[in-house]
Structure 1
Amino acid sequence: MIRVVLASQSPSRRTILRDGGIDPVIIVSEVDERAIEDGFIGSVGDLTTALSEAKARAVIDRILASTPPTLHDADTVVVIAGDSLLEFDGQAIGKPETAERTREVWSAIAGQWTQLHSGHTVAVLSRTPQSNVSADRPEAEGHDRVDPTDSATFELSDLRSKRSATSVLIGSPTAAELDAYIATEEPFHVAGALTIDGYGGAFVDRLDGDHLTVLGLSLPVVRELVTDMGLLWPDLWTLQR
């Protein structure tokens, strides 16, 4: 059985996977994104890839150290991690987090073309052979039968990353509209202070590229990575329509 782990607490990434037939186990990476950003030298797009890989590796380390019970029945675990940043005038714009920063971002990007970059990292973990006593017989006289799922362990088989980018033409909300949008606090928690799957969708005039990239997880990119690692994409489906 294949289990999919989403190394993110992003509701939009989870929704994208669920809409695509995959019900992921959520394990939040708890990576210090700001520390990585501060020390990174490279393009905005490459930074999103570095962040997604850091998140994936943090979750992989946790799984290898102590496998969660939700993964005990898996033969293969696919870990998916993503990160997104808006690029404007060569600079990365992440989550603004405050009303003041949100106003600064929107004063710069309103009416402008920007680039939304999403980095993707996919890893495959394979169950390691059981080296302990067989599950077909008790370990010793008077002991309970050994259940291999109680001590499931995995090893990293493969890890690959790829990023995607979509051009975004930002709209020009009125002062009253921007005040109302800021009051929702939605832009505080999304890259570039906007999202197309919420209140902010009305303030994006045009996209040139994959809209899922803007939402934070491009299924075509993830499928390509999964396929390149020898897995069949439909084998990841867990939800029935």
Structure 2
Amino acid sequence: MPSAHPALLLASASPARRSTLRAAGVEALVHVSSVDEDAVVAAAEARYGALAAPDVVLLLARAKADDVVGALRAEEVAAGEDGAAGPAVVDLDVDVDVLVLGCDSVLELDGEVHGKPVDAAEAVERWRRMRGRTGVLHTGHWLVDARHPDDGGTGGMVGGTASTTVHFADLDDAEVEAYVATGEPLRVAGAFTIDGLGGPYVAGIEGDPSNVIGVSLPLLRELVRELGLAWHDLRHPAA
């Protein structure tokens, strides 16, 4: 029989998203989508014209979630184990009731959309533009009810974008180069973190801090409620 409590299946490899969910009591399963993000955005813009940053992240979040939902019964899904070096593999022939969550984040600065820098040179240039200034971090969320019908699953889909204003500290060139040399800015949207090595370089934020990390917990709670569930339905039994 399907499990009484659904699991959250994260269509993302982001360790920051996973750890943020874990800190809130939700031990997410993980299955990374195979979406070609550039191709998805290019196709949408060819049809509708230029997209605003909040629309870009919602489009990509939906594409990721849809991709994973389509693969649920054909592929294996990585299930994280607290404290394990890497995810364990679970065959979905076993009943696993899931809500699938796709997320995508970008930084908007001067009306331009910035994801992960392609290399260190771009990260340095990005930070030279960002320092002492203010940007907006947008994260799109798309949640799909992929639970078994006998457990109340409807196949329903809901989505939304959360936006947080970020004030960057006025770094000097040496600080910029030292931070980029850590490699962290190359791994994250916007080339910064608030929960890692980049924390000292963010002077303040206006809005939801978890959104800057990559998943807005307050928004996700509302999306879960729209699907007819409560946040505590997703929490690990020990949380």
- Please tell me the TM-score bracket, short chain as reference: 0.7 to 0.9
Does the 8 Å CA contact 1:5/1:27 hold for their aligned counterparts?
yes
Residue type of the alignment partner of 1:61? G
Q: SS where residue 126 of structure 1 aligns? A: coil
Residue type of the alignment partner of 1:106? W
Residue type of the alignment partner of 2:9? V
Aligned to 1:21: 25
2:36 to 26, 29, 32: 32
Distance in 1 (alpha carbons) for counterparts of 2:117 and 2:138: 16
Distance change >3 Å, CA 110–CA 38, structure 1 → 2: farther
Q: SS where residue 193 of structure 2 aligns? A: coil
What is the number of equivalent residue pairs in this alignment? 216
Distance in 1 (alpha carbons) for counterparts of 2:156 and 2:147: 9
Distance change >3 Å, CA 179–CA 229, structure 1 → 2: same
Q: Does 1:114 align with 2:153?
A: no
Q: SS where residue 215 of structure 2 aligns? A: coil
Aligned to 1:217: 215
Q: SS where residue 63 of structure 2 aligns? A: helix
Q: SS where residue 30 of structure 1 aligns? A: coil
**What's the offset of the Cα at 1:24?**
1.1
1:1-241, aligned counterparts within 5 Å? 1=3, 2-39=6-43, 40=45, 41-66=50-75, 68=77, 69-71=90-92, 72-74=94-96, 76-128=97-149, 157-238=155-236, 240-241=238-239
Q: SS where residue 13 of structure 2 aligns? A: coil
**What's the offset of the Cα at 1:208?**
0.5
**What's the offset of the Cα at 1:96?**
0.2
Structure whose alpha-carbon radius of gyration is higher: 1
Residue type of the alignment partner of 2:190? G
| Percentage identity across paired residues of the two chains | 38
Deviation >6 Å, runs of 4+: none
Distance in 2 (alpha carbons) for counterparts of 1:61 and 1:216: 23
Distance in 2 (alpha carbons) for counterparts of 1:120 and 1:163: 6
**What's the offset of the Cα at 1:126?**
2.6
Does the 8 Å CA contact 2:132/2:171 hold for their aligned counterparts?
no
Q: SS where residue 198 of structure 2 aligns? A: helix
Q: SS where residue 157 of structure 1 aligns? A: coil
**What's the offset of the Cα at 1:73?**
3.1
**What's the offset of the Cα at 1:62?**
0.3
Residue type of the alignment partner of 1:73? D
Distance in 2 (alpha carbons) for counterparts of 1:155 and 1:240: 24
Q: SS where residue 34 of structure 2 aligns? A: coil
Distance in 2 (alpha carbons) for counterparts of 1:67 and 1:179: 40
Structure 2 unaligned spans of 5+: 78-89
